[in-house]
Amino acid sequence: MENAIILLLVAAAVAVGIWYTVRHFQGKGGCCGGGDYKPRKKKLSHVAGRKTYRVEGMHCAHCKLRVEEAVNDIHGAAGQADWKKGLLVVSYAETLDDEEVRRRVEKAGYRFAGTAS
């Protein structure tokens, strides 16, 4: 009887863990703030160029949104992140300072790993 109770408790703990993991990767969990927050999108009137950077530490859709918003605060720049590949593509209308992008990404809590080849 004790074995059945222990087995039932372990199965319940595993089910709850799976449920929270699925919600986490959908951006609905408590990770990085979670929730239904949608940052403002930024569109440039013209694009002079694009640069691709590697960003480490993005684990979910909410992480992606945080990185994009951090870059969108740079005047004349708009970012699009891919959390699965760990990439950030920044379109810019005027000269773009890589150091400013690094500062913004790191201030948001992620590791800037430099330009992607």
Q: What is the reported pLDDT for 20?
A: 77
Measured CA distances, 98 to 42, 55, 95, 104 (Å) = 19, 13, 10, 10
Q: How far apart are CA 117 and CA 101, in angstroms?
A: 17
How many Cβ atoms are within 10 Å of 96's Cβ, its own excluded? 19
Q: Which residues pair with 55 in a beta bridge?
A: 112
**pLDDT tens digits, 42-101:** 777 788 899 999 999 998 888 888 899 999 989 899 999 999 999 999 999 988 899 999
pLDDT of 36 strictly over 60: no
Whole-model pTM above 0.75? no
Question: For the chain, how many residues are written?
Answer: 117
